[in-house]
Structures are given as C-alpha cells and as structure tokens.
Amino acid sequence: MSSTGNGYPETVLELRVSGVRCRGPKPPGPEGGAAPGHAAQTSIAAGGGGMLRCAACSAAITRTDARTEIGGAHEHAFMNPAGIAFRIGCFSVAPGCVGVGEEETYWSWFPGHAWRVAACRACRAHLGWSFRSAGASFHGLILDRLVSDARPG
C-alpha cells in the first residue's frame, strides 16, 4: 500500500533532464561526413575543388566547391543601369574578396538583399558584389573576372 517516495522524484528528474537537453547547446556530433573513406574514389580530387583566382592578379578568391545556388541557379545574368551585362556566379564564401564602400539596399538584383561591392583583396579589382539578407549571405562574382586553377600543382 505504502509506495516508496522514490518514484515521484525520479519522474521530476527526467523532466528536468529532458528540458536541459532541449535548451542546451548542440551536441558535439562528429558526423562531419567529409571523409567518405574507401567507399568511393571521389577523394582523388585534391582539395575538393579548383581554386578560382582573380583574373587581374591571380590571387586566390574562392573555390569551385563554394558554388551555391540562389533562386535555383548558380549563374545569373544581369544588366546594370548603364546597360552593361554581367554574368555572375553565386558563391557561399569568397575569402579573397574585401567589401568596398557602404552597404546598399536599393537596386538590388536579389530582392530583399543588401549588397556591397566586392573587390579583390590583393589588387582591389572589382570582382562582383556581396549580398546579404536576414540570416544568409553570399557573393555574386563576375565569372569573366575569375580564372579557374584546376590544375594540380
């Protein structure tokens, strides 16, 4: 008849533990998935992608595996107010670029994104633009001003 008082506190403990797990930081999951091992021989490609360099000074700008799709496409063609057509590719990161000038929100090729001129960090050649919206950012780089460096060594 008389139940031990141990059962009730245990239930409370479980609730508190589950609450802590929900609010805690993300678990240290080692699931990087970057090392496929021997399953396929796709790891032969050194670096996982070719380097893309500034056409003017050959500085490393970004890599082909940083390509991303915005609005369902990697490449976009735009025309600026002066009637000059640009063919740009979208990249998630471009470590070789540096932002120039103020961030602008008018006349954005990608609605809802603020943009900023992106120039080569080494020679300051205009390579494209960086675009940023709430919680996301990418670079739109002029493909004609990049040269691929896919050759090993």
* Residues within the interface to Zn ion (CB under 5 A): 54, 56-57, 59, 120, 122-123, 125
- Closer to Zn ion by CB, 98 or 114: give it: 98
Q: Cα separations (Å) of 45 from 39, 42, 61, 153? A: 15, 7, 19, 12
- Closer to Zn ion by CB, 56 or 98: give it: 56
Query: In the complex, what is the shortest distance from the CB of residue 128 to Zn ion, in angstroms, rounded to a whole number?
Result: 12
Query: In the complex, what is the shortest distance from the CB of residue 124 to Zn ion, in angstroms, rounded to a whole number?
Result: 7
User: Helices (DSSP H) in the chain: which residue ranges?
Assistant: 7-23
- Closer to Zn ion by CB, 114 or 125: give it: 125
**Closest C-alpha among 114, 105, 106, 119 to residue 135:** 114
